[in-house]
DNA sequence: TTGAAAGCGCTAACAG
DNA sequence: CTGTTAGCGCTTTCAA
């Protein structure tokens, strides 16, 4: 096959190859490859000549060819699941932004793939067998994580965002945010404001994350010797549930403040307050979890526990580099602490 | 190099190749390739034999090798930009979900890459020159779209989500949502409810999208012979701007309803109402734009214009398949109509 | 320090 | 209908 001639002033149909650069620089293809991957091997003047040819031609190594040869795609697979309508939660989307940003600095791109919500494993296998990605970032660990077990068995490199709830001593790499610490922070904040009867609205008992967050509220209350009896409620993660749970709690336990496992639930609390003519922050304090857009724009602002997702992304990428390095470093397990975004509701 | 033996019951370190399948099925490599890509060329019994070998081995063609050979990556590049804090807007994130879902049905994966917010072109060039993606989906067309012009010049296949505002007769493929129709819908809804003085809070005049949406409000008002004098305001897209703009309008023009260019602005209106003890939906009606999570969970629910992003994704992928087809079909230009999500605020 | 040869896994073109 | 041959663009030995 003859090479398409490069007509000056016209964008070539096919991008330049190593051979094009080599010809222009008057060296062999391997020398160009070295100039790109091991520049220190070249004599300064040769390097200079090759680099000029590279930039004149606008050469960039063909990804497919490089991938084939190096058996690496520099792609990180991330499965994204549908976001339920009617909730405030957008943690994953925020995380995706951070991950794309951070991994790009490490030379990786993020490949998104959809998964069947009913099958936590779906999607991974094909990508793995086709060697389409170098590693995965696993996020949906809310119900144990079969993915981790499965990927480990397949010897596929991966980092989980979310600790292995079902087996705390699992050896794989993970990064998580300490939800208990976050709720402790939120509760302590309210205690310091003078509240004594602080109610908890969380998720159902089968949610590890929910129980973890709840434990933060519980321990903060206990550390001040306060009773929690009758002050806790476990419901579905919907605005409606938050609304009715808070109504019941208000009637039966007279709390002066609420800590919620999510902003979605907290929005339900705000609804109850609105219905009863109570002012959030003045009459009753409310704290949510996730620092969603909703928390940021609702009146008068919803105080909320904020996960340091940018930091999570950094740790995830660091762990990934470790796993993918030569030699691979041992799996990192990192726990980060959230902060509290203070707003009008407290 | 010797092939790693496949020990039964143990996951092989390297995925099986075409050669492995061929050996097992007792055919040549090419026949296996045909079985995968042109099954109709094989005799039924051979096909059966090959397919059994494929599934026994769990074979899937190596992506890099296939990409190299076919000069296609089956990857679609999508640049994602940072989401400003403190706004309600998450249209792009919702779109990403739909795009991933839809393009996967068409055999494509979505590759995310970050861009320098100050340079609308950054990120595209490298991916293109490295032939890392087959096509782009361009989204941030809010200020004209230099990307489109640039990509066209490079002969890079792409579909824009967002019409070419700066040159309406541009020939490239695009899909957009009719913002004017959306605001017309919203305004007409309010008119039908008996409102006559309907105010507009939109973006500054240099936003094409903003002016388009505004025109929908304007034409709906005019179609009923109503005056719009003093009823419109153009501000920044922040909650605070929406709050102050609505306060001024309320004082000076006594509207009974607001149509806003975004949910962010609408949240500002809700704040003003809350401050003045006015009930949204009962005293003053409010309609936002984008049907954000905020609109869904805020009390008493914010009526909002909803972009059919799932449909946008379908059209985008259809356009993409057209561009990438053999032969390529002419660029599609599709305009979709939004709907109105009715809630308590109206 | 530079160049020649080999081959990653696949598919397009052709021969049998 | 099946097999043989060649080569996509790159990097990795190894020799000069």
Query: Between chains, do B109 and A104 touch, taking CB under 8 Å as contact?
Result: no
More reliable by pLDDT, B27 or B219: B219
d(CA B308, CA B138): 17
The strands making up A257-260's β-sheet, listed across from edge to edge, are: A232-235, A198-203, A257-260, A285-289, A303-306, A339-341
Cross-chain Cβ contact A63/B67 below 8 Å: yes
Distance CA B67 to C1' C16 in A: 29
**CATH class name, domain A13-57:** mainly alpha
Residues B22-42, mean pLDDT to the nearest whole number? 88
pLDDT of B10 > 70? The answer is no
Domain layout of chain B by residue ranges: 13-57, 75-177+309-336, 179-306
DSSP, collapsed to helix, strand or coil, labels residue B315 as helix
Q: What is the pLDDT of residue A181?
A: 98
What is the C-alpha separation between B284 and B275, in angstroms, rounded? 13
CA of B22: nucleotide with nearest C1': D3
Cβ-defined contact of A132 to B11 (cutoff 8 Å): no
Q: What six digits make up the tokens of A33?
A: 């490859």
Across A2-11, A191-200, A245-254, B101-110, least confident range: A2-11
Neighbours of A1 (CB within 10 A): 3
Count Cβ atoms within 10 A of the Cβ of residue A9 and give its class: 0-12 exposed, 13-18 middle, 19 or more buried. Answer: exposed
Cβ neighbours of B246 in A, within 8 Å: none
- A45-88 pLDDT, tens digit per residue, is 888 899 999 999 999 999 999 999 999 999 999 999 888 888 98
pLDDT value at position B44? 85
Query: Helices A239-253 & A263-275, crossing angle to 10 degrees?
Result: 60
What's the gap between Cα A32 and its chain centre? 38
- What is the per-residue pLDDT for A89? 86
**Fold match between domain A75-177+309-336 and domain A179-306:** yes
Q: Which residue of B has its CA nearest to A70?
A: B64
Distance CA A202, CA A220 (A): 16
* Strand C contact with A28 (CB < 7 A): yes
CA–C1' gap, B31 and D3, in angstroms: 8
What letter does residue B344 receive in the DSSP assignment? T
Query: Which H or E run includes A176?
Result: strand A173-177
pLDDT at B1: 31
Helices (H) and strands (E) in chain A, counts: 13, 12
Q: How confident is the model at residue B82 (pLDDT cuts 50, 70, 90)?
A: confident
pLDDT in tens, A223-268: 999 999 999 999 999 999 999 999 999 999 999 999 999 999 999 9
A114-162 tens-digit pLDDT: 998 888 889 999 999 999 999 999 997 766 678 898 999 989 999 999 9
3-state secondary structure of A24: helix
Partner A contacted by B296 (CB < 8 A): yes
Residue B322 has pLDDT above 60, yes or no: yes
Smallest CA-to-CA distance from A78 within A261, A317, A258, A324 is with A317
Give the position of tokens 């019941």. A248
Report which of B138, B69, B179 is spatially closest to residue B319, judged by C-alpha positions.
Answer: B138
B137 in contact with chain A, both atoms CB, cutoff 8 A:
no
Per CATH, which fold does B179-306 belong to? Rossmann fold (3.40.50)
- Whether residue A264 and residue B96 make contact (CB cut-off 8 A), yes or no, is no
Going by C-alpha positions, the residue among A287, A38, A44, A323 that lies closest to residue A182 is: A287
CA A66 to C1' D3, in angstroms, rounded, equals: 29
DSSP for A94-149, written as a single string:
HHHHHHHHHHHHTT-EEEEEE--TT-TTTTHHHHHHTT--SEEEE---BTB-HHHH
Model confidence pLDDT, tens digit, residues A268-318 = 999 999 999 999 999 999 999 999 999 999 999 999 999 999 999 999 999
pLDDT surpasses 50 at B5: no
Question: Closest nucleotide to A15's CA, by C1' atom?
Answer: D9
Whole-model pTM: value is: 0.93
Distance CA(B279)–CA(B282), nearest Å, equals: 5
Whole-number pLDDT of residue A30: 87
Its CATH class, for the domain covering A75-177+309-336, is alpha beta
pLDDT over 60 (residue A11): no
Q: What is the rounded radius of gyration, in angstroms, for the C-alpha atoms of chain B?
A: 26
Strands (E), B296-338: 303-306, 333-336
SS3 A158: strand
**Dist CA A186 CA A189 (whole Å):** 5
Segment B286-307 shows an average pLDDT of 96
Q: How far is B175 from chain A (nearest CA, A)?
A: 22
pLDDT at site A118: 86
CB within 8 Å: B297 and A88: yes
**Cα distance between residue A159 and residue A106, in whole Å:** 15
Q: List bases, strand D, within 7 Å of protein CB.
A: 1-5, 7-13
Q: With CA atoms as reference, report the closest residue to A335 among A194, A190, A176, A220.
A: A176
pLDDT of residue A143: 64
Retrieve residue B298's tokens: 């805020």
Concatenated DSSP letters of A296-336: HHSTT--EEEE--HHHHHHHHHHHHHHHHSSSPPPPPEEEE
Element (DSSP H or E) covering residue B135? strand B135-138
Quick: pLDDT tens for B198-232: 999 999 999 999 999 999 999 999 999 999 999 99
DSSP 8-class letter at B86: T
Q: Is the CB of B37 under 7 A from strand C?
A: yes
- CA distance, residue A223 to nearest chain B CA (Å): 34
Nearest residue to B94 via CA among B132, B60, B139:
B139
Please, which pLDDT band fits residue B143 given cuts at 50, 70 and 90?
low
Helix (H) or strand (E) holding A69: helix A63-70
* pLDDT, mean of residues B67-72: 92
Sheet holding A135-138, edge to edge: A333-336, A173-177, A158-161, A135-138, A75-80, A109-114, B109-114, B75-80, B135-138, B158-161, B173-177, B333-336
Q: Residue B186's pLDDT is what? A: 98
Strand pairing report for A109-114 and B109-114: antiparallel
Picking from B62, B129, B155, the nearest residue to A130 by CB comes out as: B62
pLDDT at B12 over 60: no
| A169, A162 contact by CB (below 8 A) | no
Q: At what angle do helices B18-25 and B44-57 cross, to 10 degrees?
A: 120
Mean pLDDT of A6-17: 54
Q: Is A308 exposed, middle or buried, given 0-12, 13-18 or 19+ CB atoms closer than 10 A?
A: middle
* Minimal Cβ distance to B130: which of A61, A110, A154: A61
Q: Is B59 on the interface with A (CB under 8 A)?
A: yes
């Amino acid at each position: 096959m003859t090479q398409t001639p490069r007509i000056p002033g016209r964008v070539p149909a096919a991008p330049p190859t190593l051979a094009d650069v080599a010809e222009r620089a008057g060296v062999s293809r391997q020398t160009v490859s070295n100039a790109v991957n091991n520049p220190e091997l070249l004599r300064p003047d040769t390097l200079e000549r090759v680099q000029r040819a590279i930039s004149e031609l606008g050469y960039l190594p063909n990804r497919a060819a490089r991938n084939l040869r190096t058996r690496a795609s520099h792609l990180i697979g991330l499965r994204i699941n549908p976001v339920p309508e009617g909730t405030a939660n957008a943690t994953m989307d925020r995380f995706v932004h951070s991950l794309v940003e951070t991994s790009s600095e490490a030379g990786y791109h993020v490949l998104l793939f959809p998964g069947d919500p009913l099958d936590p494993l779906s999607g991974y296998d094909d990508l793995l067998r086709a060697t389409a990605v170098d590693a995965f970032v696993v996020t949906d660990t809310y119900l144990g994580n079969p993915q981790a077990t499965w990927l480990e068995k397949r010897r596929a490199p991966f980092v989980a965002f979310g600790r292995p709830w079902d087996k705390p001593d699992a050896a794989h790499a993970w990064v998580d945010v300490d939800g208990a610490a976050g709720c402790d922070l939120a509760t302590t904040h309210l205690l310091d404001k003078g509240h004594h009867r602080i109610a908890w609205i969380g998720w159902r008992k089968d949610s590890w994350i929910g129980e973890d967050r709840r434990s933060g509220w519980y321990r903060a209350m206990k550390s001040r010797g306060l009773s929690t009896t009758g002050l806790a409620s476990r419901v579905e993660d919907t605005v409606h549930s938050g609304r009715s749970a808070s109504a019941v709690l208000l009637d039966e336990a007279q709390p002066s403040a609420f800590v919620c496992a999510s902003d979605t639930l907290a929005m339900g609390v705000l609804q109850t307050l609105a219905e009863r003519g109570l002012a959030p922050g003045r009459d009753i304090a409310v704290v949510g979890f996730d620092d969603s857009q909703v928390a940021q724009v609702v009146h008068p602002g919803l105080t909320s526990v904020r996960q340091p997702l940018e930091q999570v992304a950094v740790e995830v990428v660091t762990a990934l580099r470790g796993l993918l390095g030569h030699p691979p470093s041992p799996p990192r397990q990192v726990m980060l602490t959230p902060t509290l975004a203070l707003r009008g509701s407290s």
